């Protein structure tokens, strides 16, 4: 058994190791080392907890058994999961953190003496507020992440689910939670505590269902943030420095990512949360336009010819590439191009894919070196000097309308200037608009060649034609 002071110092050490873990991610070179810092921090935190309890009875054996069960499940998932499924995996993991926070709060409420928080029916006021906030945020994180998971997995439609009075209902439930917490503090009633948790579960569901598929990068980042605040809330309850530090880190990390994603879409955080985007009301108007304008379409042979004769090609991947699992075929295509001394780079929009950095991971998986992959600001000027832009599975992020039409819902969103390339190859299954529900002007430009096919199949065909 170690003293509480010594334990607190160790918890501080593990908190610092977590900071270093995030710091490592500033460059891929240092990132792996960062991850080891994170693991070390976690081991220290767990071992110190065992030592500070000093209860080495049979229950310790059970704890270790449960740890191993959970660890085995987690390890299994981590090794099995395909990289394309990262967004739903992360959403799923967020839900676990949320639920764990709820359960820890419940345990603390039912047995406050074990945590030095007072006795049943007479829990310290501050602790009671902290644990109920932790439980409420945890519950919202849990049910919200489940919905996000279902949407990303395709089990639930990605289309926004809206009904009238939705926001008012959310507001009432939100206020209700605070009122109930207030009464909980006065009465210490178990029933109110359970009600707070149940309402919070409901709020989590209601909060995420109106948000459409394309806004998922924001949702995931936001839930990431929530899981951090939930952890911090529990950290205050348990008076544990490691948890407070981690909670604050994760909370601000998620908040920053949400901000970056919103900015990349030129949408306010509030409008994303209120949801309904992509449900679209101007469908008729769109169809008319589509019928009128001519589109040039080509096949793999044309595409291969164009690229063979280019001296520089920029590849613009998007969610469609992930869905079609085309990253490996793409890499094969790029290898062939490079053999012909063609310069190939990748341009990634911040919201390409379903979570921040999604495309980078997929390209990394296909062995694309990370120094060939560029962010929007770094590469946008290069389009004008390049021969071919190969857009695969991206859509809205290339739409010039964002720069020209102030009436467009995506006006002001930073987009990749693909149209400045000498020619644009656009791999897409059909002319259907993207998630934003708007037509892409790029389809009708003279220098655009549409390649109507599944991204993977088309890329493979191009590879054949490059020989």
Window 13 to 32, contacts with other proteins (CB under 8 A): 14-15, 18-19, 21-23, 25-28, 31-32
The answer to whether 331 contacts other proteins (rule: CB under 8 A) is no
The answer to whether 67 contacts other proteins (rule: CB under 8 A) is yes
Within 45-64, which residues bind other proteins (CB under 8 A)? Answer: 45-46, 49-50, 53, 55, 57-60, 62-63
Q: Which is nearer to other proteins, 99 or 427 (CB)?
A: 99
Distance CA 113, CA 118 (A): 5
Q: Which is nearer to other proteins, 79 or 163 (CB)?
A: 79
The answer to whether 10 contacts other proteins (rule: CB under 8 A) is no
Q: Which is nearer to other proteins, 301 or 375 (CB)?
A: 375
Sequential DSSP letters for 74-90: HHHHHHH--GGGHHHHH
Structure tokens at 41: 């921090």
Q: Is the dihedral of CA 349, 353, 358, 360 positive or negative?
A: negative
Q: Contact, 456 vs 325, CB < 8 A?
A: yes
- Strand 118-119 and strand 122-123: the pairing is antiparallel
Among 208, 243, 265, 466, binds other proteins (CB under 8 A): 243
Q: In whole angstroms, how close is the CB of 84 to other proteins at the nearest point?
A: 12
The answer to whether 450 contacts other proteins (rule: CB under 8 A) is no
Backbone φ and ψ for 119, nearest 5 degrees, come out as -120, 165
Distance CA 373, CA 358 (A): 13
Q: In whole angstroms, how close is the CB of 259 to other proteins at the nearest point?
A: 10
Among 213, 350, 400, 409, binds other proteins (CB under 8 A): 350
User: Which of the residues 215, 341, 371, 396 is marked catalytic?
Assistant: 396
DSSP for residue 297: B
The answer to whether 151 contacts other proteins (rule: CB under 8 A) is no
Q: In whole angstroms, how close is the CB of 87 to other proteins at the nearest point?
A: 8
Q: Which is nearer to other proteins, 47 or 172 (CB)?
A: 47
DSSP, collapsed to helix, strand or coil, labels residue 347 as strand
x/- binding map, residues 157-186, to other proteins, per CB under 8 A? ------------------------------
The one segment of 149-157, 178-186, 349-357, 440-448 that binds other proteins by CB under 8 A:
349-357
The answer to whether 315 contacts other proteins (rule: CB under 8 A) is no
Residue 438 vs residues 112, 151, 246, 425: alpha-carbon distances, Å: 55, 21, 41, 19
The answer to whether 364 contacts other proteins (rule: CB under 8 A) is yes
Distance CA 75, CA 100 (A): 18
The answer to whether 456 contacts other proteins (rule: CB under 8 A) is no
Structure tokens at 390: 């190969």
Q: Is 302 a catalytic residue?
A: no
The answer to whether 4 contacts other proteins (rule: CB under 8 A) is no
Distance CA 360, CA 348 (A): 8
Q: In whole angstroms, how close is the CB of 64 to other proteins at the nearest point?
A: 9
What angle, rounded to 10 degrees, do the helices at 86-110 and 190-208 form? 170
Q: Which of 18, 76, 373 is nearest to 231 (CA)?
A: 18
CA atoms in the 13 A half-sphere facing the CB of 15: 19
Within 198-237, which residues bind other proteins (CB under 8 A)? Answer: 220-221, 224, 227-228, 231-232, 234-237
The answer to whether 248 contacts other proteins (rule: CB under 8 A) is yes
Q: Contact, 174 vs 202, CB < 8 A?
A: no
The one segment of 9-17, 168-176, 405-413, 421-429 that binds other proteins by CB under 8 A:
9-17
Q: In whole angstroms, how close is the CB of 358 to other proteins at the nearest point?
A: 6
The answer to whether 371 contacts other proteins (rule: CB under 8 A) is yes
Within 254-283, which residues bind other proteins (CB under 8 A)? Answer: 254, 256-257, 260
The answer to whether 253 contacts other proteins (rule: CB under 8 A) is yes
The one segment of 42-50, 292-300, 417-425, 453-461 that binds other proteins by CB under 8 A:
42-50
Burial class of 171 by CB neighbour count within 10 A (0 to 12, 13 to 18, 19+): exposed
Q: Which of 50, 60, 225, 77 is nearest to 144 (CA)?
A: 225
C-alpha distance across the termini of the chain, in Å:
70
Within 78-107, which residues bind other proteins (CB under 8 A)? Answer: 78-79, 81, 83, 86, 89-90, 93-94, 96-97, 99-101, 103-104, 106-107
Distance CA 210, CA 166 (A): 9
Active site residues: 396
């Amino acid at each position: 058994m170690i003293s509480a002071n010594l334990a607190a110092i160790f918890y501080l050490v593990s908190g610092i190791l977590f900071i270093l873990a995030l710091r490592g991610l500033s460059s891929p070179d240092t990132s792996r080392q960062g991850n080891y810092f994170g693991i070390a921090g976690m081991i220290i935190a767990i071992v110190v907890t065992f030592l500070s309890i000093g209860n080495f009875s049979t229950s310790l054996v059970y704890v270790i058994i449960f740890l191993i069960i959970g660890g085995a499940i987690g390890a299994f998932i981590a090794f099995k999961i395909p990289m394309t499924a990262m967004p739903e995996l992360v959403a799923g993991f967020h839900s676990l953190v949320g639920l764990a926070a709820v359960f820890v709060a419940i345990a603390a409420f039912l047995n406050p003496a074990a945590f030095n928080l007072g006795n049943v029916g007479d829990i310290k006021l501050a602790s009671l507020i902290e644990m109920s906030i932790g439980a409420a945020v945890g519950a919202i994180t849990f049910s919200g992440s489940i919905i996000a998971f279902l949407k990303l997995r395709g089990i639930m439609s990605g289309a926004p689910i809206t009904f009238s009075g939705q926001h008012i209902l959310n507001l009432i439930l939100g206020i209700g939670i605070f009122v109930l917490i207030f009464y909980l503090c006065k009465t210490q009633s178990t029933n109110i505590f359970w009600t707070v948790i149940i309402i919070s579960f409901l709020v989590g569901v209601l909060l995420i269902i109106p948000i459409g598929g394309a806004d998922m990068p924001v949702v995931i980042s936001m839930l990431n943030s929530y899981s951090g605040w939930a952890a911090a809330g529990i950290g205050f309850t348990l008076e544990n420095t490691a948890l407070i530090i981690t909670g604050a880190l994760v909370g601000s990390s998620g908040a920053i990512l949400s901000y970056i994603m919103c900015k990349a879409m030129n949408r306010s955080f509030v409008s994303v949360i209120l949801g309904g985007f992509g449900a679209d009301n101007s469908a008729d108007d769109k169809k008319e336009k589509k019928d009128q304008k001519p589109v040039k379409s080509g096949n793999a042979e044309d595409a291969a010819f164009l690229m063979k004769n280019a001296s520089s090609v920029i590849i613009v991947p998007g969610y469609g590439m992930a869905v079609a699992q085309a990253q490996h075929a793409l890499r094969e295509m790029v290898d062939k191009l490079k053999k012909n001394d063609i310069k190939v780079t990748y341009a990634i929009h911040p919201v390409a894919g379903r979570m921040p950095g999604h495309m980078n991971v997929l390209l990394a998986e296909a062995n694309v070196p990370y120094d060939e992959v560029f962010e929007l600001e770094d590469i946008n000027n290069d389009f004008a000097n390049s021969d071919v832009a190969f857009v695969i599975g991206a859509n809205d992020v290339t739409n010039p309308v964002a720069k020209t039409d102030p009436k467009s819902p995506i006006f002001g969103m930073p987009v990749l200037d693909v149209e400045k390339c000498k020619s644009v190859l656009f791999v897409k299954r059909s002319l259907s608009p993207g998630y934003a529900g708007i037509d892409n002007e790029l389809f009708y430009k003279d220098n655009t060649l549409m390649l109507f096919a599944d991204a993977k199949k088309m890329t493979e065909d191009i590879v054949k034609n490059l020989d």
